[in-house]
Amino acid sequence: MLALIRAVIGRDLRLAMRRQADIVSAMFFFIIVVSLFPLGIGPEADLLRKLAPGVLWVAALLATMLSLPRLFADDHRDGTLEQLALAPQPLGLVVLGKVIAHWLVSGLPLALLAPVLGIQFDLSTDALWVLTVSLLIGTPALSGIGAIGAALTLGVRGGGVLLSLLVLPLYIPVLIFGAGAVDATVTGLGPQAHLSLLGALTLGGVFFAPWATAAALRIALE
């Protein structure tokens, strides 16, 4: 079981490394979106500090969404997905491996980039730490829930826009608790409660989402 997951992760990471432009462009999308906000709002440090958690988290949501359509599309096009679905191992585990690989190339870099961008918003050191931790805890849930949307829109007309329509409402709890954790640190309350809830969402999402995704993939492959 673990060997299967590891194999899928390894394969997806290798594929991602061969096409680094995709990862890099999603990162730059994140950086650009975050940098646009001060230009639109104005450079007052107080205001920016207040907006930072929400802006960074919303940008992270959008950047994660950008890479979702490719999660299954390439494998679907060349027939790999059908082979994976025919394999004796549960499809859910394969999906779990792909979700983890997706997180490693999208969520993890976002979390590592975020503190650098947080400095632009004049966040304190504590808040920067919590921002990184909240993104580390929360982004796996984004990959997991996003996989359901990616599977449902596989091979569908206008898949990209549709995907955001399906997935963004489901991202709201993650956004609330993720941005809330940073916000609570900025205002002096502890971030523990938010981070715990975020962890619960991620555990639930990563555990259950692959099975819903597998069901959706089977429908798409019918």
Partner 1 sequence: MNNRLINWFKYASPQSFYPIAGKMIPWFWALAAVFGVAGLYVGFLVAPTDAQQGEGYRIIFLHVPASWMSMFIYLVMALWAALGLAFNTRLSGMMASALAPTGALFAFLSLWTGALWGKPMWGAWWVWDARLTSELILLFLYIGFIALQSAIDDPRRADKAGAILALVGVVNIPIIYFSVKWWNTLHQGSSVSLTKSPSMAMIMLWGMLLCALACWMYSIAVALMRARSIMLERERHTEWVRALLTSTNSGKE
Sites of contact with partner 1 (CB under 8 A):
148, 152-153, 156-159, 162, 165-166, 168-170, 172-173, 176-177, 180, 197, 201, 208, 212, 215-216, 219-220, 222
The first and second tokens of residue 3, run together, are: 């060997």
Query: How many other CB atoms sit within 10 Å of the CB of residue 46?
Result: 8
In the complex, minimum distance from the CB of residue 19 to partner 1, in angstroms, rounded to a whole number: 27
- Kindly tell me which of 48 and 220 has the beta carbon lying closer to partner 1: 220
In the complex, minimum distance from the CB of residue 157 to partner 1, in angstroms, rounded to a whole number: 5
In the complex, minimum distance from the CB of residue 152 to partner 1, in angstroms, rounded to a whole number: 5
Burial 152-163 (b: 16+ CB within 10 A, else e): bbbeeeebeeeb
- Kindly tell me which of 90 and 159 has the beta carbon lying closer to partner 1: 159
Query: How many other CB atoms sit within 10 Å of the CB of residue 116?
Result: 11
The first and second tokens of residue 133, run together, are: 């931790």
In the complex, minimum distance from the CB of residue 134 to partner 1, in angstroms, rounded to a whole number: 14
- Size (the chain), residues: 222
- Kindly tell me which of 128 and 179 has the beta carbon lying closer to partner 1: 179
- Kindly tell me which of 31 and 212 has the beta carbon lying closer to partner 1: 212
- Kindly tell me which of 98 and 194 has the beta carbon lying closer to partner 1: 194
Torsional sign, CA 20, 87, 96, 82: positive
∠ at Cα 88 (85, 92), nearest 5°? 55
In the complex, minimum distance from the CB of residue 175 to partner 1, in angstroms, rounded to a whole number: 9
